[in-house]
Structure 1
């Protein structure tokens, strides 16, 4: 049941993102939008093998509902293997931020980060957002 619930929330988040993007002035210009999915480890609930397919399905469904919406979208999955628990996921997220910053710095348009991981991973993501938005 957890997988279905997570899949629903991913799909819902993508729909909300797309609807809000499509209803702005930017949506009519269809600029580049970058989506980065951060997945650490192989946890059965939040790891690569359980969540990566859900993102694929969610993007496919949203693409069917809004054809052409992802025409100017890049999607990257940044995956770190062998992350065993939430504490090590937080530490590894700090390392992964270098790859995120490199992608963001070399991209045009807004970037959206998705991370299905544990709550300790949020700190480094918040630090990145705070530093980029100041």
Structure 2
């Protein structure tokens, strides 16, 4: 889940240690409390609070007069996938909105091959082909030529 939720979750993670870190900005407001409860109920981790960064890389919104900065946009991920999230930070200079900054999450996924039921590796390889000595010798010759 991600988006401009306009909620401040703050840096105090008391009671929410399993869904957020201590690297948010400012204090949690009432809407931030509701958002933290929503994330806790749905087992979502608030990514922007986990990784330590300079304030400039945590700020997702800046007021038009540049006096106020907040972290109000968030990227959340399922708690079981928490370790796939490697970093969350803002990128400035993108032309998405005059007062919001682009929020980026770096992820590292390990994908596994999905095997269908009943299919084994031996069924995928034609080992019967190599039982014929003529074909086996041709196969060895092709392999030796390929790796020379």
How high is the TM-score relative to the length of structure 2?
0.26
Q: Which has the larger radius of gyration?
A: 2
Which structure has greater helix proportion?
Answer: 1
How high is the TM-score relative to the length of structure 1?
0.28
- Say which structure, 1 or 2, has more relative contact order (CA 8 Å, 6+ apart): 1
